[in-house]
Amino acid sequence: MKRNVVIASVTAAALLTGGTAVAVAGTQSSSPAARSASPAAQSTGMSLTEAANAALKAVPGTLDSLDRDHGARTTWDAEILGKDGKWHEVTMDASNGKVLNQHIDRDTDAEDAAEAKALRNADVSATEAARKAASRGTVTSVEFDSDRTPVWEVETVKNHKERDLNVNAQSGKVTQAPSDDD
């Protein structure tokens, strides 16, 4: 299934709101590192880790992607490979984690089966990948990509500048993502 991740919207919204959309927390602690977000980000609610935990509470399984959306209502959009083997999409209110929409993606194909297998074999989870990339900026998106070498594509923003990073799904090594020509 090709996911319609609106990275440009997330980035534009992050830049318009001061460049910091969300902080990544290693745990749900209140340490400075876990809560290092701008006042605007703090007032809008949940960190990526908190959103991941809320999504996985709604649908137990393995997180495939998590994106902050700044539309009419700020939300977290998650895609999860459920323990039932089905792909689930969950939308949560970013201020409190309340599930706004949840459904099973019925438009799946062979590519989805291959991605599910690669995702199950990943040694690094979405939240671990986000944590590794967080030293390079505020994480606004994390998504699994199994096209070639399985990696987590992580988008960060720092000083109003977006960076796309890859985190190897096996080793956890963080590298700059190749530039996108589109």
Q: Decide if 73 contacts 44 (C-beta within 8 A).
A: no
The per-residue pLDDT for 146 is 92
Question: d(Cα 175, Cα 43) in Å, to the nearest integer?
Answer: 31
The per-residue pLDDT for 72 is 64
Instruction: Write down the pTM of the prediction.
Output: 0.72
Tell me: pLDDT of 16 over 90.
no
Tell me: pLDDT of 28 over 80.
no
Phi-psi region of 17 (alpha: psi -120 to 50; beta: other; left: phi over 0): alpha
Out of 54-58, 71-75, 123-127, 148-152, pick the least confident. 71-75
Out of 22-31, 114-123, 153-162, pick the least confident. 22-31
- DSSP structure string for 104-124: E-----HHHHHHHHHHHH-SS
Tell me: pLDDT of 64 over 60.
yes
Tell me: pLDDT of 89 over 60.
yes
Question: For 122-157, how does the pLDDT look when each residue is reduced to its tens digit (9 = 90+)?
Answer: 999 999 999 999 988 888 899 999 988 999 999 998
Domains along the chain with CATH numbers: 7-176 (3.10.450.40)
The per-residue pLDDT for 47 is 87
> For residue 151, what are the contacts with CB-CB under 8 A and spacing of at least 6?
144, 145, 166, 167, 168, 169
- Percentage of the chain modeled with pLDDT above 90: 51
